[in-house]
Amino acid sequence: MRAALWACDDILVDLEDRDVTVRFVHFKTHATVTVALRINARALDTSVEELKRRVEALAGDCVSDLASFLDGG
């Protein structure tokens, strides 16, 4: 992911269903990319800060993969 162009804007975690939604915003165009994930129950056995850090990194990898695919096409 191009760190200078994208920023994590919002992270929502549904603890009951273990659903996570992460939204990234492009600085120049204000385009948004939303990544939805379902996390393992074991992932909840950590602090909120650690969970947030892990989820943001995982979603960032998804956005990076998407960007690489689009750049190559």
Domain for residue 18, yes or no?
A: yes
End-to-end CA distance of the chain: 17
Domain for residue 1, yes or no?
A: no
Higher pLDDT, 67 or 2: 67
Domain for residue 35, yes or no?
A: yes
Domain for residue 52, yes or no?
A: yes
Domain for residue 41, yes or no?
A: yes
Domain that residue 21 falls in: 6-72
Query: Of the candidates 12, 1, 11, 9, which has an alpha carbon nearest to the alpha carbon of residue 30?
Result: 9
Structural domain count, the chain = 1
User: How large is the greatest C-alpha to C-alpha distance in the chain, in angstroms?
Assistant: 40
The amino acid sitting at 36 is: A
Domain for residue 33, yes or no?
A: yes
pTM over 0.85: no
Mean pLDDT for the chain? Answer: 87
Sign of CA dihedral 43, 45, 48, 49: negative
> In the chain, what percentage of residues exceed pLDDT 70?
90
Least confident of 11-15, 46-50, 57-61, 65-69: 65-69
